[in-house]
Amino acid sequence: MADQPDRAARGAATYQDVLGATMREPTTPLTEAARDFVFGDVWSRPGLDRRSRRWITLSAVCATGVDVAMRTYLGAALDSGDITESELREFALQFAVFQGFPRAVQIEMLISQIVAERASK
């Protein structure tokens, strides 16, 4: 594919921008797809701003309940400055109404842990 090097570079740059970390060189088909498709194609598309994509992603990853995904995207949202702690707390309340209080409590706890970790640095 002629676009592949550009797509990979765009994906790596977008990953850095979204998650605030340098992406290691992909070593599996899944990590390559994450770089190229998730970050190179989807996150870098026009049509939605970065903040909107963050809210959609937070809703999706929090609905899964997967700790590593939730922690990654909650932390990246805070670190980016796109979303504030108070907005994340409101998100947890809104989320509770539609996805359940047990999962929202999990989100609240992760937000508190992330904020405490950043305060201790």
33-60 tens-digit pLDDT: 999 999 999 999 999 999 999 999 999 9
* Whether the predicted pLDDT of 31 surpasses 50: yes
Q: Average of pLDDT values for 88-105? A: 98
Structural domain span for residue 33:
1-45
Question: Do 58 and 22 have their domain in common?
Answer: no
Going by pLDDT thresholds of 50, 70 and 90, the confidence category of residue 64 is very high
pLDDT of residue 3: 65
Question: Do 22 and 56 have their domain in common?
Answer: no
| 65 backbone dihedrals φ, ψ, rounded to 5° | 75, 10
pLDDT of residue 63: 97
The Cα–Cα gap between 101 and 13 comes to 36
* Whether the predicted pLDDT of 2 surpasses 50: no
The reply to whether the predicted model has a pTM over 0.85 is yes
| Total number of domains in the chain | 2
Question: Do 33 and 89 have their domain in common?
Answer: no
| 9 backbone dihedrals φ, ψ, rounded to 5° | -65, -45
Q: Average of pLDDT values for 62-77? A: 97
Question: Do 2 and 27 have their domain in common?
Answer: yes
Q: Average of pLDDT values for 48-76? A: 97
Question: Do 25 and 55 have their domain in common?
Answer: no
The Cα–Cα gap between 81 and 106 comes to 22
User: Looking at 11, 29, 45, which one is the last position of a domain?
Assistant: 45
Cβ atoms of 91 and 107 within 8 Å: the answer is yes
Look at residues 63, 23, 55 and name the one whose alpha carbon lies nearest to residue 40.
23
The Cα–Cα gap between 72 and 5 comes to 26
Question: Do 94 and 116 have their domain in common?
Answer: yes
Question: Do 121 and 72 have their domain in common?
Answer: yes
Going by pLDDT thresholds of 50, 70 and 90, the confidence category of residue 121 is confident
Query: At how many degrees (to 10) do helices 4-19 and 67-80 cross?
Result: 80
Question: Do 54 and 20 have their domain in common?
Answer: no
Question: Do 55 and 41 have their domain in common?
Answer: no
Question: Do 57 and 41 have their domain in common?
Answer: no
CB contact set of 113 (below 8 Å; sequence gap of 6+): 71
